[in-house]
Amino acid sequence: MAERLFSKHHIWVLKEGDTGILGITDHAQEKLKSIMFVNLPDTGDMISDGKRFGDIESIKTVSDLIAPVSGEVTEVNEELIDSPELLNDAPYDNWLIKVKNISSLEDLMDEETYLKSKDDP
């Protein structure tokens, strides 16, 4: 089974072949609180590592989604458009987008390293 990797921007990536499935971490949804809206790219759009690819609006704030990889969006989780609160309920079961021909994953962290890093000041 593929290992979930994590970015410093609280996005997880699950690699399946040359496709990456992206979502937000539990830490991110905890900080955001009640998620009310998700703005995601369209199928066919290109995303770039380190660049904004969408945002999440909660009662507290609007947060940019920063891409941990580059590639072409092949699928968008349309269910989140109507029910963004699913990200609060189960952030690891509800992905945001799928991206093909993803770039290198070497800057991403395993779960243990990620959990330690988010506690650092």
**Domain 4-117 top-level CATH class:** mainly beta
Phi, psi (rounded to 5 degrees) for 2: -70, 145
Residue 115's SS3 state is helix
Q: What is the pLDDT of residues 10-55, one digit of tens each?
A: 999 999 988 999 999 999 999 999 999 999 999 999 999 999 999 9
Report domain extents, the chain.
4-117
Is the whole model's pTM more than 0.85, yes or no?
yes
